[in-house]
Amino acid sequence: MVEKWSAVILAGGLGSRLNPLTAKICKPMVPVCNRPMVDYAIDHLRYAGIKKIIIVVKHLGNELRDLINSTWTKEICENLGIEILIPKVNSMGTADAVRKVADEITSENFVVSMADIVTNLPMTNFMTYHLKKKAQATVSMKRIEEMATKYGNTLLDNDGKIIRFLEKPSSQEIYLSALTRRNAQTLPIINTGIYCFNREILDLIKETTFMDFGKEIFPYLLEHQYRLYGFVDDYYWLDVGNPTTYLWSNWDILRLYGWPITPPGSQEEKFKWFLEKPPSHLKYNENICIGKNCTFGQNNYISSLSSIGSNCTFGVNVKVDKSVIWDNVKIGNNVIIEQSVVANGSVIGDDCVIKSNTIIGPHSKIRSKSELNAKTLQADSNI
């Protein structure tokens, strides 16, 4: 088993590409299947046996700190045998965030993770690989065949050592770079944003003014021939970067693609998670989750790949399909919502049809008999 480890979660993202869903909250607070994304990052680390987790916040930091402290109370953390710290620091980049909390990192090796991705990277295997290679730094990686040019790519030798980084290259650049390197692994390999470090790298961070891992730390390690490795495996990973991938993340968690990461609540029936048992007259399929304190009218149907928040009110004859409804939403009578997101506090009038990746920002009001198709409505919209 692995040695004692600690971890740092970087939770400072604005989430501007997720607007309007991040109009009033920061990206780590955005709920996926009724849990903020930061909770998945915490679970991912504690499931791997990491006992000390340091979370660095920035944008809307006080709000995020309050959310974490209300969920991960002192009593809950003591029962789980973990410690969660949220220092009050002001960081200017990913490496600077680690620098600012360096005094809290007391283990010989530590993990740096992100609060805005959803993944089931096999963390214990990742950590063990880092130790086995006697690496000073190890980067989590994944082979992909589609959209390779969307991400930065990496060339590895057959021992897993990193040879070269390619920042969002063309397909031809990936191929030609591999050809010029003997024993290079050729299929596009992307950095999935979780790192293992030895304390030597922590000392380097403290002694330099480097601000960013990707732009400064890793190129420096490569140039100066540090033991920099890539851990490549086949696992679920999704960068929740825009409203479309946000919808996908909810669908994937409901299909257990991220196992052992699951929606909150009890799974009283297969692929159905409830924070509170829904009324007997509610009709629903598999691959759904429902919060608590919801009111459902007659002839309501929650179809597959749908997430319903808490404190929601549904009228009669409401169908929700492949959609995400946040907390405190009111939906009128005779409403159809398909493949869309309705953010918290919104009100949907009677006889509305909402479909095709429509994104309704928080605290919006949609008048009766509205038809929305592939629309994006900003926060506090009134149409």
Backbone φ/ψ region at 308: left (φ over 0), alpha (ψ -120 to 50), beta? beta
Q: Which range has the worst mean pLDDT, 80-94, 182-196, 205-219?
A: 182-196
Residue-averaged pLDDT of the chain: 92
Report the run of H or E that residue 377 belongs to, with start and end: strand 376-377
pLDDT band of residue 170 (cuts 50, 70, 90) is very low
Q: Judge contact between 161 and 187, C-beta under 8 A.
A: no
How many whole angstroms separate alpha carbon 256 and alpha carbon 262?
7
- Residue 357, Cα to own-chain centre: how many angstroms? 20
Above 50 in pLDDT, residue 135? yes
Neighbouring C-beta atoms of residue 59, cutoff 10 Å:
18
Above 70 in pLDDT, residue 98? yes
Specify which residues 331 forms β-bridges with.
314, 348
**Tens digits of per-residue pLDDT, 145-159?**
765 556 668 899 999
**Domain positions in the chain:** 5-243, 267-377
Higher pLDDT, 99 or 1: 99
Given CATH 3.40.50.11810, say whether it is the number of domain 5-243. Answer: no
pLDDT band of residue 88 (cuts 50, 70, 90) is very high
Higher pLDDT, 2 or 16: 16
Report the run of H or E that residue 46 belongs to, with start and end: helix 37-46
pTM: 0.92
| Predicted pLDDT at 373 | 97
How many whole angstroms separate alpha carbon 97 and alpha carbon 92?
7
Cα atoms in the Cβ-side hemisphere of radius 13 Å centred on 113: 35
Please give the backbone phi and psi of residue 328, each rounded to the nearest 5 degrees, phi first. 60, 40
| Predicted pLDDT at 149 | 55
Q: Which range has the worst mean pLDDT, 87-91, 181-185, 279-283?
A: 181-185
Q: Is the dihedral of CA 130, 181, 193, 265 positive or negative?
A: negative
Above 70 in pLDDT, residue 2? no
Q: Give the residue-averaged pLDDT of 267-295.
A: 94
| Predicted pLDDT at 146 | 62
Mutual angle of helices 37-46 and 61-71, in 10-degree steps: 50
Above 90 in pLDDT, residue 201? yes
**Tens digits of per-residue pLDDT, 122-134?**
999 999 999 999 9
| Predicted pLDDT at 3 | 54
- Note the CATH number of domain 267-377: 2.160.10.10
* Best CA proximity match to 99, nearest among 208, 177, 13: 208
Pairing mode, strands 162-166 and 153-156: antiparallel
Above 90 in pLDDT, residue 217? yes
How many whole angstroms separate alpha carbon 347 and alpha carbon 341?
13
- Angle CA(135)–CA(113)–CA(249) in degrees, nearest 5? 130
* Residue partners of 370: CB distance under 8 A and separation at least 6: 349, 352, 353, 354, 383
For 339, the 3-state DSSP assignment is: coil
* Best CA proximity match to 310, nearest among 295, 332, 322: 295
